Amino acid sequence: MAAQMDSPPTRLMRLVQLGQVEEAMRADSIWQCVSCQTCSTRCPKEVDCAGVMDALRQLAFERGTVSPAQRRTVIFQKTFLDNVRRYGRLNELELIALFKGETFLRGRAVGVLFEDAGLAPKLQRRKKLHLVGERVKDRGVVERIFERTMNGGAQ
């Protein structure tokens, strides 16, 4: 993804080193990062670049500096994580309904609610769309994972 970014990970790491976090948070690159860990693995200085990108996204979200172009990404991420936290695994239909509904409420046209509806029959024939979601048996494990994650890794 680095080739597609407005600022490559190396430049963003340098901005953070120089204390220019606000500028780094404004880069669309932090939202294009797919957290593949390639930059972290290849970094000769052993910097966790993917972790820094994640932190920049979190800061941008907390400070309300997410660009309008990236708001839909933030809505999806939040909806996805809320869904996984609730069920322990993905409940696809609820995710679709909540994401589309939230996107619609944030000013998109009514068409956003049904723009992907034509894909449902194809996905279901290929057994890629599950109409009934399942819950994991030990929801406590999932809750502990989220607790540790939200508390900065504290155990």
Dihedral of alpha carbons 138, 142, 147, 149, sign? positive
CB of 148 closer than 8 Å to CB of 154: yes
Task: Give pLDDT, residue 155.
Answer: 44
Task: Show the tokens assigned to 44.
Answer: 């000769």
Residue 89: what are its φ and ψ, rounded to 5°?
A: -155, 175
pLDDT along the chain (155 residues), means of 10: 84 95 92 87 92 92 84 86 89 84 69 76 83 80 88 54
